[in-house]
Amino acid sequence: MKAMVLRWPGPPECLPLELRDVPEPRPGPGEIRLRVLACGVCRTDLHIVEGDLPPAKASLIPGHQVVGEVDALGQGAEGFRIGETAGVTWLHSTDGRCGYCRDGLENLCENARFTGLHADGGYAESMIVRAAFAFRLPERLPPMEAAPLLCAGVIGYRSLKVSGIKPGQALGLFGFGASAHLALQVALGWDCRVYAFTREESHRRQALAMGAAWAGGIDEEPPEPLHAAVTFAPSGRVAVAALSRLRRGGTVAINAVHMDPLPMVPYPLLYHERGLRSVANLTRRDVIEFLDLAARGTIRAQVNPFPLAGANGALAALKASAFPGAAVLRVQG
C-alpha cells in the first residue's frame, strides 16, 4: 500500500514525509482494518512532523482524523461489519483500569496512546484501529467532510465545555482555523454571541459570514467583556491576551497540545476568579456527543482537499494559515 512516512522531523517545506510502498497491516485481536478514504490534516500532525511532539516510533505514518471502510476484522473484533464506514480519532487506546479511566477522564490516562504518534495513522491507504476506539459516523456526511470533525471538531467541542460557556453568553475564539470554525457553529447553536480574534483578514471575513457577532485582531477590544474564551493559536501571548478580555469569573480554555511559553501574567488579570485551563486530548464520550450534534445537520466543515502525496504541502499551507477551514487528504474513493 502507499503511505506518507516520516523520514525525520523537520519543517514540511523540507519534505520530511516520503511516499512509500509499505506492507499492508493486518488486524490483531479486537482490531479492525480500514481502507482509508479521507484523513484530516491537523496542527497536531504539524507538531509531530516538525518534532515539537517527538514521534514514538521510527518511520511513523501520521494522521488521526480518519474516515475509512472496514475491510478486515481481527479475532473478537465487535461492533463493525465488512463494508461499513468508521471514524478514527486522536485517542488510540487507554488502559481502562486507572483512576482517570474509572472516573470518566480517559483523556488523562497516563498509559494512553495516540493515533499518528504512538501508532500509525491515516496518511496511508490502510490502517489498523481498535474496534472499541472506532466510531460510527452520521450517514449524511461524506468522508471528506466527516474527517475534520474527528479531532478539530471534537476537541473544539471539548474546549467549549472546559471553558464553561453557557447559552446566551459572550464567547471569544482566538485563532480561526479548522477547529475554531467548527466550534463557532456549536456556540451559535447554543445562542452565544461569538467574537473571533485572528490576524488573517480572510479568516475574519469567514467568521463574520458564518455568524460571528464581531471579528478583529488579537490586540483589538471586543464590544463587551467575555464570559469565556478558547484559544486555538499555539501561543502563550495569545492565551494572556484572551485572559485580559475576560469578565470576572471567566475562563480561558487553551486548545493546544503544544504551545510557546506563557509570558509573565500580571496577577490582576487572574484576580476575581478568572482562570486558565488546558484542554488535554478527548474522551470517547466527547466524540459521541459531538457526532450526535453533527448528525442534526447544523455543523459543516469547510474542506480544502489535497492528494495523499501532497501531505507535505498541506502541512506547509496549514502552517502558513493559507486557507480557511480544514485541510483533508483524499486518500481513496
Whether residues 229 and 266 fall in one domain:
yes
The total number of structural domains that make up the chain: 2
Domain boundary among 234, 251, 278: 278
Whether residues 6 and 69 fall in one domain:
yes
Whether residues 81 and 228 fall in one domain:
no
The CATH number for 9's domain is 3.90.180.10
Look up residue 38 and give its DSSP letter.
E
283 pLDDT above the threshold of 80: yes
140 pLDDT above the threshold of 90: no
Whether residues 286 and 187 fall in one domain:
no
Whether residues 96 and 53 fall in one domain:
yes
Strand partners, 21: 2
Q: Which domain holds residue 7?
A: 2-151+282-330
Q: Which three cell numbers stand for residue 260?
A: 510557546
The CATH number for 170's domain is 3.40.50.720
pLDDT per residue as tens digits for the range 77-125 = 999 999 999 999 999 999 999 999 999 999 999 999 999 999 999 999 9
Whether residues 22 and 134 fall in one domain:
yes
Whether residues 138 and 14 fall in one domain:
yes
Q: How crowded is residue 190: how many other Cβ atoms within 10 Å of its Cβ?
A: 14
166 pLDDT above the threshold of 80: yes
Whether residues 106 and 165 fall in one domain:
no
Whether residues 122 and 173 fall in one domain:
no
What pTM did the predictor assign?
0.95
Q: Which three cell numbers stand for residue 321?
A: 494559515
Confidence (pLDDT) at 90: 98
Whether residues 84 and 232 fall in one domain:
no
What residues have CB less than 8 Å from 292, skipping those under 6 apart?
Answer: none
Whether residues 43 and 75 fall in one domain:
yes
Whether residues 46 and 126 fall in one domain:
yes
Domain boundary among 278, 296, 313: 278
134 pLDDT above the threshold of 90: yes
As a whole number of angstroms, the distance between CA 50 and CA 156 comes to 23
